[in-house]
């Protein structure tokens, strides 16, 4: 796995300030994913953590962040208290800033080989005891046509096997979007499950705060439960598309240039939020 480090270049430098993006692009093309280590500084990660801690403390934001109280006698589900935050860039200047970050723009330009457009942001708390998300493909939900999407998955905590780190299935990015099976609701907060194709296997991805995992929208990936008692697994997740290769996208998404200007893209059929939730909300 390529371990790429950065000195936070601007978008205009095209990799001349310490990010060997050509190596990252080669791995992305070969395996469907790549990691940029320490893309964001500890201070920037603290800013993201503080922003979403404050959002959680303020309470519900209809359409974006909707905790649900437990009814008397119901089993306790931590995901009711800590659901994912959908499209936070529409309600948070901090989230919008990082969605449109110039470093992401530069790297995505290499990975997509065209101008990137921002399509979505999310934040996942994944508290201790939370379920994970069964293996799936993001473009099953975004329905980008004729191309696909790219995720930029920003680690906001130390992320490993114990607290429900991601697993990916290299090589599936070259395959079509699969018809998913039913996931196990005891371990997954979403309904869809895509088993690894014959001959392919999951690879664990462990991350440090500030690392960013980029992956192709067809790459099969997912996570297990957070089995710790005292560690969150927070992440800020954004999806992007190529301006030329995205001729249609699910109507649940709204694209922006990396300068923040709206871009009208015709609607594709189907799609929806990234992961069809069961009766409770939870993290990716």
**Quick one: which of 208, 190, 212 has its CA closest to 140?**
190
The whole-model pTM stands at 0.91
Query: Over the stretch 153-170, which tens digit does the pLDDT of each residue have?
Result: 999 999 999 999 999 999
198-222: average pLDDT: 98
pLDDT band (50, 70, 90) for residue 16? very low
CA dist 41 and 35 (Å) reads: 15
The rounded percent of the chain whose pLDDT value lies above 70 is 91
Instruction: Give the per-residue pLDDT at 238.
Output: 98
CA dist 83 and 91 (Å) reads: 16
36-42: average pLDDT: 97
pLDDT at 250 over 50: yes
**Quick one: which of 186, 91, 80 has its CA closest to 125?**
80
**Least reliable range by pLDDT among 50-59, 108-117, 142-151, 269-278:** 269-278
Tokens of 264: 């009208």
12-37: average pLDDT: 78
State the CATH class of domain 3-263.
mainly beta
Tokens of 243: 């301006």
pLDDT at 220 over 80: yes
What are the domain boundaries of the chain?
3-263
Residue 216: DSSP 8-state: E
């Amino acid at each position: 796995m390529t371990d790429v480090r950065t000195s936070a270049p601007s978008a205009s430098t095209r990799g001349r300030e310490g990010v060997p993006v050509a190596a990252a692009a080669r791995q992305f093309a070969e395996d469907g994913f790549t990691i940029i280590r320490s893309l964001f500084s500890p201070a920037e990660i603290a800013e993201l953590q503080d922003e979403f801690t404050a959002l959680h403390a303020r309470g519900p934001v209809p359409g974006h962040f909707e905790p649900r109280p437990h009814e008397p006698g119901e089993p306790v589900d931590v995901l009711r208290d800590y659901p994912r935050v959908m499209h936070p860039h529409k309600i948070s200047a901090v989230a919008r800033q990082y969605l449109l970050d110039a470093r992401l723009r530069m790297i995505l330009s290499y990975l997509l080989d065209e101008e990137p457009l921002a399509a979505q942001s999310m934040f996942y708390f994944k508290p201790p005891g939370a379920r994970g998300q069964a293996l799936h493909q993001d473009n099953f939900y975004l329905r980008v046509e004729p191309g696909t999407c790219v995720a930029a998955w920003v680690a906001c905590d130390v992320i490993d096997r114990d607290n429900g780190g991601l697993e990916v299935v290299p090589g599936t990015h070259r395959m079509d979007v699969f018809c998913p099976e039913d996931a196990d609701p005891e371990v997954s907060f979403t309904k869809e499950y895509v088993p690894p194709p014959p001959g392919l296997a999951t690879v664990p991805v462990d991350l440090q705060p500030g690392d960013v995992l980029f992956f192709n929208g067809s790459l099969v990936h997912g996570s297990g439960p957070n089995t710790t008692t005292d560690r969150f697994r927070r992440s800020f997740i954004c999806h992007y598309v190529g301006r030329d290769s995205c001729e249609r996208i699910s109507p649940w998404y709204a694209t922006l240039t990396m300068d923040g200007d709206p871009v009208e893209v015709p609607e594709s059929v189907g799609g929806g939020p990234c992961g069809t939730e069961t009766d409770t909300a939870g993290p990716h």
